[in-house]
Amino acid sequence: MAVKTLDNKRNRLLMATALFLGLGAVPFFAPPFYVVFLNDALIIACLSMSLNLLVGYTGLISFGHAAYFGLGAYACGLLLKSAGLPFGVSLVAAGAFGGLGAAVAGFFCVRLNRVYFSMLTLAFSLIFWAICFRWNDLTGGDQGLSGIPYPNLTWISQMIGRPDFSSAQSYYLVSLVVVAICIAAMWIIVSSPVGLMLRTIRENEQRSTFIGVETRRVKLAIFIVAGTIAGLAGGLFAVFNRGVYPDFMYWTKSAEILIMALFGGIGSFWGPAIGSLTLLLLHQETVALTEYWSFALGVILLVLTLRFPSGLWGLFERFTNTRRSK
């Protein structure tokens, strides 16, 4: 038993490393179009995984997670554009603002349970959205914040001996490293003692308090962590797309991330990443037919809820398990 878990652990680490290296190799041979797509996909995958810390691991169904993505995006964009701060500092600030927003909202949200929690997260996301939408002078209002200066990343292309790399290709590598760090941090959290405490809260919050867990504090902490990672993702996304728009943090965006996570499977660590990748690909393919996007999402949700409540990852596990046991 112990040997097997050790093996599993090593295998998982090996697979994650292989995935990281494989993704790192992409800009060296794939056409730039794919690099651009994959960059966004990585960031959104990281975002929906951060939401899964709340939904899947703690049982907190947040309807407003895009707010912290948006706060990070605005913070990073403004610090780069208006304050002229360096990229690294702005990115860290994006995480800090996401976390700060989550701390403010979370302070109130974790006092409520179930649907009341969800409603309050939605309410806060609408408030944050409205502030960014209305604060014309700072955020550009409904026009958004465009013309965010791109960081100079030639040191990266030089370091890896590929001076011909475009800034997008270099940026992709930055995204990959930041996302990998976030994912590693999330992995550490969910496999730690804190991770088990989160799951006791998901399963039975009242019982959890009776084994001595300060559930409100734990919930607030994980809400802030999730918000910080969402903020970092927002910062990465804003700079790469050179702009921030209010609909980054609109409630429909929150719903989209939640659907991605559910689609991939909130019962697993990687599920939400698979879900967001699949949906982004689908979106990419149907981009000419945008009026069908809602329809497609609706159908997916329908099939999912009725037939596959454990998502794509659940399907995958069922498939591999039956094969193995045969």
Partner 1 sequence: MNASANDLLTVRALRKTFDGFQAIRGVDFSIGHGRVHAVIGPNGAGKSTLFNLITGLDRPDEGEVTFLGSPCSHMSPASLCRRGMVRSFQKSNTFLGLSVFENIQAAIVSRSGEGWKIWPPLGRRFADEVQEIAEQVGIADKLDLLPEDLAYGYQRQLELAIALASRPRLLLLDEPTAGMSSTDTHRAVALLKRIVEDLNIVLLITEHDMGVVFSLAERIIVLAEGQIIADGNPEDIRANAEVKRVYLGKS
List residues near partner 1 by CB under 8 A.
2, 5, 9, 188-189, 191-197, 199-200, 202-204, 206-215, 218
As measured in angstroms, the least distance from the Cβ of 5 to partner 1 is 7
Please identify, using beta-carbon distances, which residue of 89 and 196 lies nearer to partner 1. 196
As measured in angstroms, the least distance from the Cβ of 36 to partner 1 is 34
How far apart are the C-alpha atoms of 232 and 159, rounded to whole Å? 24
CB 319 within 8 A of CB 80: no
As measured in angstroms, the least distance from the Cβ of 16 to partner 1 is 14
How far apart are the C-alpha atoms of 107 and 17, rounded to whole Å? 36
Token pair recorded at residue 130:
């409205």
What angle, rounded to 10 degrees, do the helices at 215-240 and 32-52 form? Answer: 170
As measured in angstroms, the least distance from the Cβ of 83 to partner 1 is 33
Token pair recorded at residue 104:
């403010």
Own/partner pairs, 194-202, CB within 8 angstroms, 24+ separation: 194/218, 194/221, 194/222, 195/57, 198/53, 198/57, 198/58, 198/222, 199/57, 199/58, 201/58, 201/59, 202/57, 202/58, 202/59
Dihedrals φ, ψ of 269, to 5°?
-70, -45
As measured in angstroms, the least distance from the Cβ of 1 to partner 1 is 8
Question: What DSSP character marks residue 148?
Answer: P
Token pair recorded at residue 18:
């292989």
Token pair recorded at residue 326:
């045969």
As measured in angstroms, the least distance from the Cβ of 266 to partner 1 is 12
